[in-house]
Structures are given as C-alpha cells and as structure tokens.
C-alpha cells in the first residue's frame, strides 16, 4: 500500500512538475539551497520560517526541525529572504551556480525596534493554502493575563474564533462544535490524553518549556488524523546550545523553573549536545499541612498538588543526522490520611497523570529529502485507593479498594519531507500506534467477607495511518494542498480501513487578498467518555469496538484572508480572516441518560456492566462564521475575534430522538485581546470575552410516579382504610426537552501589567493581574433549592422552589515574579 | 513616576474586590415557563380485578407556577375529575373511590373486562388542568417455559444461611418488539416447635414464609437485539438465614411471573428507575421520562401476566 501510494504520488508530481514549471525557471539547470534556520544565540531550530526568493512568491517554509530546501534555476547571484514573526528577517545574497547548504541564524526581535517591524513584513496569511490554522507565539502567551498568573497555552487558544471554552476557568477546548475529546493534543509527536490539572482549571503545558503552539481547526492536511475537530501541535524547546540559560517564576499557587544549555563544549556540528529541563509544582498542600496538623493534633493529613516535568536532550550525530529525546511527566495527587478515630484508620488517595516520551531521529537523505523517525510512548492513568481498618473487640476488619483506569500507547512514525522544486513540497509518512486501554480495573478486598476480587479488562488495539500530501503552487494565483490518508484500526472483533481525502486551495485575487476553500474527512477511533464538560480525571478513554463505531466528520470551509498593506509594504501587520464552515459528525458518542463513569463498574454490584452499555451514538452538525482581525506587530498588538455558530446533536436514545443543542452550542462568542507596550519596561494587557450561555437541562416539575405492585393501605378522606392499587411510589422529575434552558451569558475582563527590569545578571518581571476585573458572577452550574414556607409562599405543603446560580471566580487578583538569565 | 501611576491603577483594581456571594438566586423572570400538566397513572391487565386511575397534580418545581391551582393533597386524586375508559366500542366512566377527594377513580373489571390485543383510550378532565388522553394496547400473555433454580449455602455477613436463585425462561415471539417484567417469590414451608402456652409442651407448627426475589434492579427486559430468541431472565435471589436450628423445611416452591408489558409501561418504568438511580449522581446526564399521557405526565400502561411454579422440595 505504502509503495503504491508513493509511486502514484511521485508520478503525479512528475507530471505536474513538467507542466507547471514556470517558463523563466525552466531554462537554467536547477540548484538546491537547503539548510537549517535557527535562533541566534540559543541555536533553537525555528519552525515555519518563510524562506523565499526576495521580491517573488517563490519560496518554502522550514519544517518542525527548522529544515528548509529550495530548488531554483542556477544563476550568478540570488537574493533570499528568511523571515518569521518575532525575529529580525535576514536577506542574503548568494552565488547560486551550484547546490549548497546555508544555515541561517535569526535574531530574536526586540520590541519597539524598527528592524523588527520590518522583519515581520512578509508574514502574510493570504499567501498560504492553509486555512483554519492558528499559530500562537509563546512570547504573546506570556503577556496575556491569566487566572492566578498561571499562563496557560490552551486558555489563550480559547480566545480565538472557532475555539470556545467550556465552563468557567476550564482549559477544555470546543472547536467548531466538537467536544474536548475531539482534539488531538500532541507534544513532540506524543499524544497527551488528559491535558488538565486540578479538574481542568489549569492545563498541563508549561509555557517555559514550549517552543511553538499551532492549532488546526479545519482544512486538515493529510499528515494529521485521529480526531474530528482539531489538532493542537506543541513542540518543546530543544535546549540552548550556546550557554546555560534559565527562567522561572514564583506565583501564588505554583512555582516553576526551566534550565537549558549545552552539555558539550562543542556548540555546533557533530557531537554538539544540549538539554532542557523544566519543572512546575503547586504548593497548596505544603502551605496547608501545618494548619491541618494543628487542627487535628497531627492525626490527619490531607492535601492536593500537581507537578509537571519536561525534559529534552538533543545531539547532532553528524551533518545529516540529529537525535532528540524528550519527555513529559505530570501528576495530580489528592490524599487524605485520617487516624483521628481510636478504632478506625482511613487512607484515601486519588492520583492521575500523563507520561510521554519521544525519541526522534532526523536524517537528511539529500538536500531535497528530509526524514524523521519517531518512537513514541504515552501513558495516562487514573487511580483511586481506599484503605480502611476497623478494630472492634480485638477483631480487625480491613477494607481495601483499588481502582485504576488508563490508556497506554507505543507508537512508531516515519515522515519524509520532499522538496522537488519550488512548486511542490511533498510530505509522506506512516504511523502505527498500539493502544492498551484499561477502562477499569478493580481490586476489592474485605477481610469480613473473606472476598477478594480482581477484575481487569484490558483492550489492545492497533491504530495506524499512511499519508501523502503535496503543497502545490502552480502559478502566482493558486496555492493547493491536496492529500490522502488511509487510516486503519484493528480490534479483536473488528477492523476498519478508511480513506480520508483532504483538499485545501487558495486563490490570490491580489497579492494581499486571497479566497480559500477546504474539505477534510476525519476518523476518530478512540473516544473519551465524559459527561460533565469539566476536565475530570475520571474521563475515560475507550476504543472503537464491534459495538461502538469510529466517529467520522466531514468539514467544508470557505474563507478569505486579507493582509492590510501600507503603500505596498506590509508594515502594520494587520490581517483579517473571515471563514464560514459546515461540519457534519457521525457516530459521535455520549453517555446514555442517567449513566456516568460512576456506573461504569460498580465494584459492589453483582452485575458486571460493559462500558458500551452506558454509551449511545448519534450524529451532530455544526455551522458558523468566524472573523479574526489580528495585529501582530507594533507597540499595540492583539486581536478581535467573533464567532457566530450553531451546533446540534441527534441521538436515538437522547431527548426522545429529537435534535437538541449540546451544552456548548454557542450562538455568539467574542474576544478582544490587547497588548500595549507602554515602554520597554512596562507592558499592559487586557482581554475581554463574551459567550452565549450554555444550553442546560433544568427540572420543570416533579411528580409522584407509580406502577403496579407493592400495594399499600391508606385511609381515604371518608375515614375508611383501603388497599391502594399502585405502589412503588417514586418522585420523578420532568425536564421538558433536553438542554432547553439557556444559562446567562458569560463575560469577563482580565487585565495585567508587567514591569520588566534588566538586572546585573538577570532580567526580572513583576506581574500584577486581575482575573474577572469587573467581578461578573458568571454561572458555573445551577441547582434547584427549596425555600421554606414563608409569607411569600402561602401554600402549606408546597414550599417555594427557586433556581440558584453558583459562580466560582469573583475578581481574582494575583501577583507573580518571573526571572530569566 | 509612570511606574507609580500604573501601580496605583493596579492597586485600585485589586481593591475593587466586590464582596457579593458566589451563590445567587436566578431572577424568576429568566426561568423557563412550562404549562402546568396533570399527572395520570393507570395500568390495565386481563388478570386484575380492579381498574384504577390516579389523577394527581404535580409538585411545584420552579417558582410558584404549579401551586396557583389550589392546595392539592398530593397523595389524593384530584376532586371532581371525569375519568372515562373506552375500548373503541364501549365507554365507561370511573367514579371516585374513597370520599369527595378520592384516593383514586376505579371500577371492578367485571363491569369492563380488559382483553388482550384490544386498544383502550383513557380520557381525564377536571377544572384544574387541560384535559388529557392516552392510549395503550394490551399485550398477549407469554407463558414461561421453565424456572432454573439453584441454591448456595454458606455464611454471609457472618450468619449462616442459604441463598436461593431463580431464572425464568421463555420464548420471545419473533418479528415484534416485546417488553417484559419479571417478578417472583420463594415460598418456603417449615415446621418448628412453638411454645404456645406456659407449662404446655411445645408442638410442631407449620409456617409459610414468602421471600420476594430480588433481581438487582434488572427485572425489565426488552427483546431488542435478541428478537425471537429464547430469553432468560436475570438471576433473582432470595436469602434465607438459618438462625433456628429446630426449624425443618418441608416445602420449597418457586413462583415466578412473567409480565408481557406494553412499550409505554416499559419506557416509563425504565426511565423512572434510571432517574432514581442517577438521582444522587451529580455527573449523570438528566434522564428524560417519556409519557404517553397526551398533555400530561404519568403513564397509561398495560400488562399481561403468566405465572410458573416449581416445587423444589
């Protein structure tokens, strides 16, 4: 299959190259200029740098490892421009009679520096076939105000059109009507299954360790697959090759420290090795421990913490080979140890976390062919342990419960980037992942019942994909990315092989204005069972089986991209993108009404329930329009985003089979983000967000439900005792239609001010910020409450029932100290 | 100087700590409004001797909307309701039973027999709520073919005893959607010496104990995905503790009843049960209870029973 695909693609490529070669280029012998673009100083590889022949649109961009290859006709001299946001662009004039390698180092831009403003002049959204994609500069993320000062990559993505937040303070992403389970979150090629800390209030990504963040919400290239709604591709920094560098911060709830530097004296060339080590930990448990101990005479301890650890080492094996080893380890832990009773001791622990590891080997086959092999490991596990010891009359009863659930992956991936000529840039690759799911494993021991049970239910499946895609620039007007992915899924009872065609095209009406269109078909073979919308660790990953089919989506998007130029030069960096989309989702899954993870496996019940019994599948559709006006350069930068959208679901077993709005259907979603560099020492930032309220199901009435059987005697009004025909009385609740209640709209304003100062050996930043600055009481959830009878409630047996709105965050001020050296 | 002015701004923001509660009552004007509806329960069966209809008011939930109709007694039926039942050819009105405010509306089935295969229409009207109607068809009886009984003796919760298990087996009719409910009892006859009068010797007395079988909540069954097959019920169990060493079992009988129930009854009972199970679980999706009472809440259901008895001892 792989061979067939490659042959087919290469033939197609050859054919097109023959016909599409522009005439002036066709006359001279072609030469290839290739190399790496890195950051000056740290030697960090730069991703997505535009490399092109100055004054033309003939060019390419660097790949994930900073590599580029550009094939041009030989000539006496050639001027090349290297540019990317946040760096000073470089123009090189080179003698171009023969192929050669040119490595370039770009200087990180200094704010308010005119050179920087010029350097960004070539980053144009209108010049790429890719649509529905967002790149976030990490430096910008660090300036945007955040809850308790904890900068969060995923929460900044929530400020983009088409991407919505869930409940207040949550880091889950809802992309174009899809749920958080439909996002593929990849850190250095490894899937991160649960990106939440502290029940979703913080994401697991530590910005200090990250180099780049890219979100794709539509028009997916063929190299991406496995989820319906988005791909969030995060890359860790490689580690400074020049000198030891550190940065860190002390905040109200957590502190962090990152160190990076060379491991060898050799700064570049074969043998040069560098590392990155970054950690973050909360300290609420440490602060609370003495208080709890004092309250309970030291007999009880309890606490909660989370930590993250990122590590990466990279080494150059030779001019053509590089090796990268990176890993992420993060864990949340809640614990309680109660010895306060003389006869009883109780120990409870809940823990969850991700571990990922990636070993990557880059090999340059030629100046036109770049290869990368990755070995990938990822693991997520959730565990509960409860131990109880009860001593009564010298008899000791022990109760031990262990519950674990999780997913573990071993994966292998090979990708080739091929740059035959400036018109084509080809990517082909193959990937296979062996997943092991542990939906639930329970060990229950009880000395009294003399019973011990071990129930492990592991499922092994193999998911794989093979793809080929080409970015084709036939002439100055057209930019096309076409590709095909074959995804396969092997389970004991069922096998799926599915083709996934992808196409994206841009037509440049003018040099700064293009219209774009895309189509993508996506399959998802792993599913997340989650019914709260909150990032709970109990959210359970489960595979496609013979009873649960793969989820599938088809999305079409149309849009325009406009770069506002000033007298022909793109100096103000203002861009406007407008996109409309329609997405159809099939076989999406949801818990059945009344089911939840708590019922997945009830260790005390004699009945054994398969998780499939608790889920139901249906379809959904979402459509909408998104507008993004973004200013990336200058003293004042930021964006305004607006989304108008509709999302509906239809499940045979939910809402009586009628379509309904899922909880996160959001008609209007707007965000305004502004960063103002007041002076080199002070920066001010603010964000304002608005979103239509969530669609919720609220009780409308309760009544007593009966059925035949269990008859009981009752006295009639006539004083005669009679046998009532129906019993089993139970209070039933009437909800009306599912999600027919709209919560109040959500809006919030955050503000932050940063004071930067260069000290003798380091640079420090004080940040003061306020989350929810105007103290809006945004709804987190609603609950019914019954008021006792009162003067306003004259009914004797009918107390007044009201609806209460619970909010979580009032205005939250915070202060943090950050440093780097 | 600039630094100071910005610091002042930040401090001002931080002092703007509005100290309101994080829990607030939602303005009743923003709440969804629902039309008040009557709650009607009626279950008919060819085996029953009584036709009974409960006509009740719902409890209030949001605001005072449902309470404006007067203080109803929630355990009684609504006064002055006109309740009629029709089988398509004959219509009968059910009078109130138990006083002016009746416990229920009902008549003896000898006056209006319930026949399998027939469709019945129930209509209820009164001064408080809009009139409601409902229809259901009485399913035919399905005879169970066997009872699979078993027992296990041993200690449980520290006490000796025997747990009896029973499963009911029957043949599902192919090509139609069927819904079943299973129930049963273990009837145990024992003799044991009983002291009746002081100074009078003990004498053996025969006692009959009835233990209802528990199906762990799995007593509703559908033939979905198993249409036309031989169906086996979940295991019903009854635990009997042998705490009296003088007791002697002389008879042990399993009686198990298969009710062929109509879809309305099944959907209603199943969702109400599920709602009850999920009640304490804040993470569960709300369970919507369907109702075949047009314009109201509740259920008009039908069932047809067949009982099988096996003598174990």
CB contact under 8 Å between B106 and A699, yes or no, is: no
Is residue B17 in some structural domain? Answer: no
B98 lies in the same domain as B203: no
Which pLDDT value is given to residue A580?
96
- Which residues of chain A make contact with B281, given a CB cutoff of 8 A? 596, 598-599
- Which of B103, B159, B179, B263 would you mutate first to test chain A, the one with the most A CBs within 10 A? B103
- Whether the predicted pLDDT of A239 surpasses 80: yes
- Whether the predicted pLDDT of A10 surpasses 50: no
Chain A, 422 to 451: residues with Cβ < 8 Å from chain B are: 448-449
CB contact under 8 Å between B32 and A700, yes or no, is: yes
pLDDT per position as a tens digit, A594-639 = 776 554 433 333 345 567 777 889 999 999 999 999 987 778 889 9
- Which residues of chain A make contact with B23, given a CB cutoff of 8 A? 804-807
B285 lies in the same domain as B213: no
- Whether the predicted pLDDT of A14 surpasses 80: no
Show the domain range for B191: 146-260
Is B1 within 8 Å of chain A by CB? no
Is B219 within 8 Å of chain A by CB? no
Instruction: Please name the residues in contact with B2: beta carbons below 8 A apart, sequence gap of 6 or more.
Output: A678, A679, A682
In whole angstroms, what is the distance from residue B141 CA to residue B261 CA? 9
Is residue B42 in some structural domain? Answer: yes
B250 lies in the same domain as B159: yes
Query: How confident is the prediction for chain B on average, in pLDDT?
Result: 83
B56 lies in the same domain as B103: yes
Cβ–Cβ < 8 Å for A134, A191: no
Is B86 within 8 Å of chain A by CB? no
Among candidates B24, B281, B284 on the partner chain, residue whose Cβ is nearest the Cβ of A805: B24
Is B62 within 8 Å of chain A by CB? yes
Q: Which domains does chain A have, with CATH numbers?
A: 2-123 (2.60.40.1120), 133-697+814-820 (2.40.170.20)
Lowest mean pLDDT among A262-276, A656-670, B291-305: A262-276
Lowest mean pLDDT among A27-36, A452-461, A730-739: A452-461
CB contact under 8 Å between A597 and B286, yes or no, is: no
Instruction: Please name the residues in contact with B71: beta carbons below 8 A apart, sequence gap of 6 or more.
Output: A795, A796, A797, A798
Is residue B22 in some structural domain? Answer: no
CB-neighbour burial class of residue B55 (10 A; exposed 0-12, middle 13-18, buried 19+): buried
Chain B, 221 to 260: residues with Cβ < 8 Å from chain A are: 234
- Tell which residue, A691, A636, A685, A635, has the closest CA to residue A668: A691
Among candidates B25, B218, B278 on the partner chain, residue whose Cβ is nearest the Cβ of A804: B25
CB contact under 8 Å between B61 and A802, yes or no, is: no
- Which residues of chain B make contact with A697, given a CB cutoff of 8 A? 285-286, 288
Output the DSSP codes for A354-366.
EEEEEEEEEEESS
CB contact under 8 Å between A773 and B102, yes or no, is: no
Which pLDDT value is given to residue A115?
33
**Other beta carbons within 10 Å of A267:** 13
B134 lies in the same domain as B47: yes
Is residue B187 in some structural domain? Answer: yes
A449: closest chain B residue by CA: B157
Residue carrying structure tokens 């919560």: A743
- Tell which residue, A541, A523, A467, A463, has the closest CA to residue A495: A463
Listed ranges A25-39, A471-485, A694-708; the one with the highest mean pLDDT? A471-485
- Which residues of chain B make contact with A811, given a CB cutoff of 8 A? 13, 16-18
Cβ–Cβ < 8 Å for B9, B267: no
Is residue B128 in some structural domain? Answer: yes
- Which of A732, A766, A787, A815 would you mutate first to test chain B, the one with the most B CBs within 10 A? A732
A654: closest chain B residue by CA: B288
Å between A777 CA and nearest CA of chain B:
7
Å between B194 CA and nearest CA of chain A:
30
Q: Determine the straight-line distance between the first and last CA of chain B, rounded to whole angstroms.
A: 99
Is A532 within 8 Å of chain B by CB? yes
- Which of A734, A738, A804 would you mutate first to test chain B, the one with the most B CBs within 10 A? A734
Considering only residues A292 and A492, tell me which one the structure prediction assigns the higher pLDDT.
Answer: A492
Is A75 within 8 Å of chain B by CB? no
CB contact under 8 Å between A698 and B34, yes or no, is: no
A663: closest chain B residue by CA: B285
Is B6 within 8 Å of chain A by CB? yes
pLDDT per position as a tens digit, B209-243 = 888 888 877 788 888 888 899 999 888 888 877 66
Confidence of residue A583 (pLDDT cuts 50, 70, 90): very high
User: What is the complex's ipTM, to 2 decimals?
Assistant: 0.86
Cβ–Cβ < 8 Å for A435, A543: yes
B230 lies in the same domain as B96: no
Output the DSSP codes for A687-742.
EEEEEPPPEE----EEEEEEEEB---EEE-TTS-EEE-SEEEEEEEEE--STT-EE
Among candidates B218, B265, B285 on the partner chain, residue whose Cβ is nearest the Cβ of A595: B285
Which pLDDT value is given to residue A5?
45
B135 lies in the same domain as B39: yes
Considering only residues A5 and A623, tell me which one the structure prediction assigns the higher pLDDT.
Answer: A623
Is B281 within 8 Å of chain A by CB? yes
Confidence of residue A799 (pLDDT cuts 50, 70, 90): low
- Which residues of chain A make contact with B258, given a CB cutoff of 8 A? none
Confidence of residue B23 (pLDDT cuts 50, 70, 90): confident
B266 lies in the same domain as B240: no
Å between B58 CA and nearest CA of chain A:
5
- Which residues of chain B make contact with A800, given a CB cutoff of 8 A? 60, 63-64
Cβ–Cβ < 8 Å for A557, A131: yes
Among candidates A682, A717, A741 on the partner chain, residue whose Cβ is nearest the Cβ of B76: A717
Query: How confident is the prediction for chain A on average, in pLDDT?
Result: 84
Is residue B8 in some structural domain? Answer: no
B130 lies in the same domain as B268: yes
B15: closest chain A residue by CA: A813
- Tell which residue, A154, A150, A160, has the closest CA to residue A183: A154
How many distinct structural domains can be found in chain B?
A: 2
Which pLDDT value is given to residue A152?
87
- Tell which residue, A88, A40, A38, has the closest CA to residue A314: A38
Mean pLDDT of A650-669: 92
Which pLDDT value is given to residue B279?
73
Alpha-helical regions (H) of chain B: 2-15, 263-278
Mean pLDDT of A161-165: 90
CB contact under 8 Å between B283 and A598, yes or no, is: yes
Output the domain CATH number for residue B117.
2.60.40
Confidence of residue A793 (pLDDT cuts 50, 70, 90): very low
Mean pLDDT of A170-176: 87
Chain B, 111 to 130: residues with Cβ < 8 Å from chain A are: none
Is residue B310 in some structural domain? Answer: no
Confidence of residue A489 (pLDDT cuts 50, 70, 90): very high
Kindly tell me the sign of the dihedral angle through the C-alpha atoms of B276, B282, B283, B287.
positive
Residue carrying structure tokens 């950690």: A279
Å between A156 CA and nearest CA of chain B:
22
- Whether the predicted pLDDT of B4 surpasses 70: no
B221 lies in the same domain as B177: yes
CB contact under 8 Å between A593 and B286, yes or no, is: yes
In whole angstroms, what is the distance from residue B162 CA to residue B238 CA? 8
Which pLDDT value is given to residue A540?
79
B294 lies in the same domain as B161: no
Chain A, 668 to 727: residues with Cβ < 8 Å from chain B are: 678-679, 681-682, 684, 697-709, 714, 716-720, 722, 724-726
Counted across chains A and B, CB pairs separated by less than 8 A come out at 262
Which pLDDT value is given to residue A170?
79
DSSP symbol at A547: S
B44 lies in the same domain as B94: yes
Is residue B24 in some structural domain? Answer: no
Cβ–Cβ < 8 Å for B182, B141: no
CB-neighbour burial class of residue A357 (10 A; exposed 0-12, middle 13-18, buried 19+): middle
DSSP symbol at B93: E
CB contact under 8 Å between B13 and A531, yes or no, is: no
In whole angstroms, what is the distance from residue B196 CA to residue B193 CA? 9
Å between A537 CA and nearest CA of chain B:
13
pLDDT per position as a tens digit, B129-151 = 899 999 999 999 999 999 988 88
Compute, in degrees rounded to 10, the torsion defined by CA atoms A592, A593, A599, A604: -130
């Amino acid at each position: 299959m792989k061979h067939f695909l490659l042959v087919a693609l290469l033939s197609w490529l050859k054919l097109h190259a023959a016909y599409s070669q522009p005439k002036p280029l066709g006359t001279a012998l072609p030469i290839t200029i290739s190399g790496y673009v890195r950051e000056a100083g740290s030697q960090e590889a730069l991703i997505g740098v535009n490399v092109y022949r100055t004054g033309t649109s003939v060019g390419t961009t660097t790949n994930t490892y900073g590599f580029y290859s550009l094939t041009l006709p030989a000539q006496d001299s050639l001027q090349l421009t290297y540019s990317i946001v946040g760096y000073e662009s470089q123009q090189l004039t080179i003698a171009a009679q023969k192929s050669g390698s040119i490595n370039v180092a770009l200087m990180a831009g200094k704010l308010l520096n005119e050179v920087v403003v010029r350097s960004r002049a070539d980053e144009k959204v209108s010049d790429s076939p890719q649509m529905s994609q967002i790149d976030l500069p990490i430096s910008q993320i660090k300036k945007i105000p955040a809850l308790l000062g904890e900068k969060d990559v995923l929460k900044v993505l929530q400020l983009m059109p088409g991407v919505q937040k869930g409940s207040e303070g949550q880091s889950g992403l809802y992309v174009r009507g899809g749920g958080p389970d439909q996002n593929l979150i990849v850190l250095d090629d490894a899937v991160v299954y649960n990106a939440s800390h502290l029940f979703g209030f913080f994401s697991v990504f530590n910005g200090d360790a990250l180099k780049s963040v890219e979100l794709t919400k539509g028009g997916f290239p063929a190299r991406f697959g496995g989820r319906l709604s988005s791909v969030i591709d995060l890359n860790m920094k490689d580690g400074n090759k020049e000198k030891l560098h550190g940065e860190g911060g002390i905040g109200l709830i957590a502190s962090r420290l990152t160190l990076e530097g060379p491991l060898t004296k050799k700064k570049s060339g074969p043998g040069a090795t560098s590392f990155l080590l970054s950690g973050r930990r909360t300290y609420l448990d440490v602060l609370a421990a003495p208080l709890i101990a004092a309250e309970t005479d030291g007999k009880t301890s309890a606490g909660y913490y989370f930590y993250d650890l990122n590590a990466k080492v990279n080494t150059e094996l030779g001019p053509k080979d590089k090796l990268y080893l990176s890993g992420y380890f993060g864990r949340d832990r809640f614990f309680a140890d109660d010895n306060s009773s003389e006869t009883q001791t109780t120990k409870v622990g809940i823990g969850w976390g991700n571990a990922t590891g990636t070993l990557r080997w880059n090999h340059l086959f030629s100046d036109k062919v770049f290869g990368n092999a990755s070995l990938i490991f990822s693991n997520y596990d959730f565990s509960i342990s409860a131990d109880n010891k009860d001593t009564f009359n010298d008899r000791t009863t022990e109760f031990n419960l262990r519950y674990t659930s999780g997913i573990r992956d071993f994966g292998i991936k090979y990708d080739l980037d091929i740059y035959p000529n400036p018109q084509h840039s080809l990517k082909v690759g193959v990937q296979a992942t062996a997943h092991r799911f542990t939906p639930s494993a329970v060990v229950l021991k009880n000395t009294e019942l003399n019973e011990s049970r071990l129930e492990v239910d592991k499922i092994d499946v193999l998911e794989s994909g093979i793809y080929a895609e080409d970015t084709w620039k036939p002439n100055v007007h057209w930019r096309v990315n076409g590709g095909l992915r074959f995804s396969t899924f092997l389970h004991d009872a069922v096998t799926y092989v599915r083709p996934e065609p992808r196409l994206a095209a841009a037509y440049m009406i003018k040099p700064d204005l293009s219209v774009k269109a895309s189509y993508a078909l996506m399959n998802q073979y792993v599913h997340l069972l989650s019914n709260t919308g909150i990032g709970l660790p109990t959210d359970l990953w489960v595979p496609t089986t013979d009873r649960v089919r793969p989820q599938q989506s088809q999305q079409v998007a149309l849009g325009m991209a406009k770069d506002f130029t000033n007298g022909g030069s793109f100096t103000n960096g203002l861009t406007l993108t407008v996109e409309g989309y329609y997405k159809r989702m099939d076989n999406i899954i949801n818990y059945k009404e009344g089911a939840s993870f708590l019922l997945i496996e009830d260790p005390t019940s004699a009945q054994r329930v398969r998780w499939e019994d608790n889920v139901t599948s249906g379809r959904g559709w979402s459509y909408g329009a998104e507008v993004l006006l973004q200013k990336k350069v200058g003293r004042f930068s930021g964006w305004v985003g607006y989304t108008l959208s509709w999302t509906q679901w239809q499940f045979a077993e939910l809402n009586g089979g009628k379509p309904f709005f899922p909880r996160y259907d959001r008609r209007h979603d707007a965000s305004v983000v502004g960063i103002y560099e007041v002076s080199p020492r002070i920066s001010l930032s603010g964000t304002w967000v608005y979103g239509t309220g969530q669609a919720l199901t609220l009780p409308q009435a309760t009544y007593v439900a009966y059925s035949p059987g269990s008859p009981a005697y009752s006295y009639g009004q006539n004083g005669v005792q009679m046998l009532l025909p129906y019993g089993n009385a139970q209070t039933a609740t009437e909800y009306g239609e599912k999600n027919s209640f709209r919560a109040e709209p959500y809006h919030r304003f955050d503000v932050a001010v940063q004071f930067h100062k260069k000290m003798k050996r380091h640079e420090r930043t004080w940040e003061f910020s306020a989350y929810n600055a105007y103290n809006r009481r945004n709804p987190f959830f609603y609950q019914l409450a019954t008021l006792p009878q009162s003067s306003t409630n004259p009914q004797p047996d009918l107390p007044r029932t009201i609806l209460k709105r619970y909010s979580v965050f009032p205005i939250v001020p915070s202060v943090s100290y950050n440093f780097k050296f | 100087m600039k630094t100071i002015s910005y610091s002042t701004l930040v401090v001002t923001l931080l002092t703007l700590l509005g100290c309101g509660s994080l829990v607030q009552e939602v303005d009743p004007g923003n709440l969804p409004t629902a039309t008040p509806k009557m709650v009607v329960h009626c279950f008919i069966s060819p085996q029953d001797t009584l036709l009974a209809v409960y006509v009740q008011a719902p409890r209030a939930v949001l605001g005072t909307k449902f309470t404006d109709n007067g203080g109803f007694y929630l355990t009684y039926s609504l006064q002055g309701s006109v309740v009629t039942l029709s089988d398509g050819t004959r219509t009968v009105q059910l009078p109130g039973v138990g006083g002016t405010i009746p416990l229920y509306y009902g008549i003896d089935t000898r006056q209006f027999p319930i026949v399998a295969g027939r469709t019945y229409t129930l209509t209820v009207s009164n001064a408080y709520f809009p009139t409601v109607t409902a229809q259901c068809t009485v399913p035919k009886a399905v005879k169970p073919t066997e009872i699979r009984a078993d027992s296990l003796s041993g200690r449980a919760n520290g006490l000796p005893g025997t747990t009896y298990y029973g499963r009911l087996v029957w043949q599902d009719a192919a090509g139609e959607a069927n819904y079943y409910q299973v129930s049963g009892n273990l009837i145990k006859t024992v003799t044991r010496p009983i002291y009746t009068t002081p100074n009078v010797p003990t004498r053996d007395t025969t006692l009959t104990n009835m233990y209802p079988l528990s199906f762990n909540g799995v007593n509703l069954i559908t033939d979905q995905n198993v249409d036309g097959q031989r169906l086996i019920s979940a295991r019903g169990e009854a635990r009997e503790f042998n705490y009296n060493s003088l007791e002697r079992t002389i008879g042990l009988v399993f009686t198990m009843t298969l009710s062929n129930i109509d879809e309305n009854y099944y959907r209603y009972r199943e969702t109400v049960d599920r709602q009850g199970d999920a009640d304490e679980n804040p993470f569960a999706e709300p369970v919507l209870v369907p109702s075949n009472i047009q314009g109201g809440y509740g259920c008009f259901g039908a069932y047809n029973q067949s009982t099988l008895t096996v003598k174990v001892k």
